[in-house]
Amino acid sequence: MSALQGLWPQVQDTCTSLGFMLSIVLFMGLGRVIARQQLHRPLVHAFVLEFLATFQLCCCTHELQLLSAQDSTHPTWTLTLIYFFSLVHGLTLVGTSSNPCGVMMQMMLGGMSPEMGAVRLSSQLVSALCSRYCISALWNLGLTKYHFSERSLACKNPINADLPKAIITEAICSFIFHSALLHFQEVRTKLRIHLLAALITFLAYAGGSLTGAVFNPALALSLHFVCFDEAFSQFFIVYWLAPSLGKHIFI
């Protein structure tokens, strides 16, 4: 009984974090509904939808990182959460990419105009920075004992490999993910979402210990903004150039 009582605060904090992430998904979903009803100019509509999608992805990933750091001895739980929220994002973020590499790939394949691509890219980068400061403010509310704003202000270097290996890891992850996006287009939607969620979970497992397996420049900017400031060249090469290189290899 005493052991269960000792675990109860941790269970409460975990449930609060999960509720926090699902609340973000719900609020961003409400924002998308309003945007689709009220915004009729294509560029403004695209900017807002991409902003909301990137904001949702970044905020949830910040919270997932926090949860995984508290229970690092049980990676299965972390991978389960990654799979579940990858499904959630796949179901709710239809029509957006939340990833600059995805936008550039569509532009290079002729599926998106340069003007629309520039709008989506700028929206993703602005949203990535906004999500970082928003999550810091929300953590400062102290909803759980793990929530405090200083946690997001320090640079915790996620690169646990030499530079060439880190570059190769992010490039390969980006290559596999974006090639799967194209090859799964003919697969029915429900199955495709599960396949992509499983693939993201596998990539997180395979490359997470080396670089975090981000393969998304906007997400990397949100997660590691301070690190970009302190070691710009290293993080720019690993988290921006390497995923773009992986995408170019496929194209």
Asked whether the predicted pLDDT for residue 152 surpasses 60, the reply is no
Residues in the chain: 251
Which residue is associated with the tokens 């697969």?
187
What integer pLDDT is reported at residue 2 of this predicted model?
Answer: 42
Token digits for 113? 């105009």
- CA distance linking residue 25 with residue 37, whole number of Å: 19
- CA distance linking residue 227 with residue 166, whole number of Å: 15
Q: Please tell me the pTM assigned to this model.
A: 0.90
- CA distance linking residue 251 with residue 243, whole number of Å: 13
- CA distance linking residue 251 with residue 195, whole number of Å: 21
Residue 198 or 161, more confident: 198
- CA distance linking residue 28 with residue 39, whole number of Å: 15
Ranking 52-56, 64-68, 169-173, 241-245 by mean pLDDT, the lowest is 64-68
- Residues 182-206 have a mean pLDDT of 90
What integer pLDDT is reported at residue 95 of this predicted model?
Answer: 85
Alpha-carbon dihedral sign for residues 23, 29, 32, 34: negative
- CA distance linking residue 99 with residue 77, whole number of Å: 25
What integer pLDDT is reported at residue 231 of this predicted model?
Answer: 80
pLDDT tens digits for range 215-225: 999 999 998 88
- CA distance linking residue 87 with residue 144, whole number of Å: 25
Burial 16-35 (b: 16+ CB within 10 A, else e): ebbebbeebbeebeebbeeb
What integer pLDDT is reported at residue 193 of this predicted model?
Answer: 92
Residue ranges of alpha helices (H) inside the chain are 2-38, 42-70, 75-92, 100-108, 114-139, 163-183, 189-207, 217-223, 225-230, 232-236, 242-250
Token digits for 236? 């720019």
The Cβ of residue 237 has, within 10 Å, a number of other Cβ atoms equal to 15
What integer pLDDT is reported at residue 154 of this predicted model?
Answer: 67
pLDDT tens digits for range 17-55: 899 999 999 999 999 999 989 988 999 999 999 999 999
